[in-house]
């Protein structure tokens, strides 16, 4: 006879990986992409995201406008916007601040209005399917994980980073077994479906812009699948009332 604990564990696992669960479809999509797209973990930004040059040329204005919002103490918590991110928060119980500007093609107009220079950029580049302001608190650790969707490149643009000397910084990424330290204004393009983790080892918050850029090197059938994925993600955000949940907090905490 099965013990109650064992039966409960099996039932929980079945519910977690059933076809109605996000994780089930995430793993199927990951399997399809990994068998069709073969690339290194990190790629040259200008080759795959030429519009990043515009971000660098307008960096001072973007940085000024973004930091005014990001360092206000009013950014919502990532795990409160997306429940699927809760395990990343529970790893060390330090709140990861996140301000979505666009999520898989779904715009957040109120948030974009706070940063006019980025709103202008996003309006001209729909291939940037996601954009967000990320704030890592001091000593925050993001446990190793993989992104769900290989149909995009992930672009980092650090805006507020502590230089720790000897080439190290508070924007520390471990991607596919290799450590990278990013400095302010240094654009960085990579594939977040590789196993990765992140840490802010400093005593100050770290602010980075995160963009997801639609990949143009996909075979035709994957392009169709990618657009279907984006359409479903947009519908899900609408049904979850994400725009309301992603607003700045009323007062600084």
What is the spatial distance between Cα 222 and Cα 213, in angstroms, rounded to a whole number?
A: 15
| Exposed/middle/buried for residue 138 (C-beta within 10 Å: 0-12, 13-18, 19+) | middle
Residue 7's pLDDT band (boundaries 50, 70, 90)?
low
Alpha-carbon distance values, 248 to 53, 71, 112, 114, 252 (Å): 29, 12, 12, 10, 9
**Residues 71-101: b if buried by 16+ CB within 10 A, e if exposed:** beebbbbbbebbeebeebbeeeeebbbbbbb
Distance CA 150, CA 156 (A): 16
Domain boundaries, the chain: 44-246
Band of pLDDT at residue 14, cut at 50, 70 and 90 = low
pLDDT for 97-120, tens place per residue?
999 999 999 999 999 999 999 999
Annotation: CATH topology of 44-246: Jelly Rolls (2.60.120)
Mean pLDDT of 29-38: 78
- Tokens (6 digits) for 151: 């149909």
Taking a C-beta distance cutoff of 8 angstroms, is the pair 235, 177 a contact? Answer: no
What pLDDT is recorded for position 10? Answer: 60
């Amino acid at each position: 006879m099965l013990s109650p604990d064992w039966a409960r564990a099996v039932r929980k696992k079945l519910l977690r990986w059933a076809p109605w669960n996000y994780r089930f479809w995430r793993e199927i999509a990951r399997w399809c992409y990994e068998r069709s797209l073969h690339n290194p973990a990190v790629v040259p930004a200008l080759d795959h995201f030429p519009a990043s040059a515009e971000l660098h040329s307008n960096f001072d204005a973007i940085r000024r406008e973004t930091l005014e919002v990001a360092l206000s103490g009013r950014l919502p918590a990532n795990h409160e916007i997306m429940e699927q991110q809760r395990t990343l928060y529970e790893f060390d119980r330090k709140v990861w601040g996140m301000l979505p500007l666009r999520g898989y093609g779904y715009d957040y107009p109120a948030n974009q209005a706070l940063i006019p220079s980025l709103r202008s950029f996003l309006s001209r580049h729909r291939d940037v399917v996601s954009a967000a302001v990320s704030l890592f608190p001091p000593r925050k650790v993001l446990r190793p994980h993989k992104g769900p969707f290989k149909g995009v490149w992930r672009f980092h643009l650090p805006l507020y980073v502590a230089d720790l000397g000897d080439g190290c910084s508070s924007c520390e990424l471990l991607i596919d077994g290799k450590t990278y330290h990013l400095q302010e204004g240094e654009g960085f393009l990579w594939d977040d479906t590789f196993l990765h983790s992140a840490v802010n080892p400093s005593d100050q918050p770290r602010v980075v812009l995160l963009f997801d850029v639609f990949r143009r090197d996909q075979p035709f059938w994957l392009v169709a699948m990618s657009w279907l994925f984006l359409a479903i993600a947009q519908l899900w955000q609408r049904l979850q009332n994400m725009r309301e949940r992603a607003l700045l907090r009323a007062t600084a905490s």
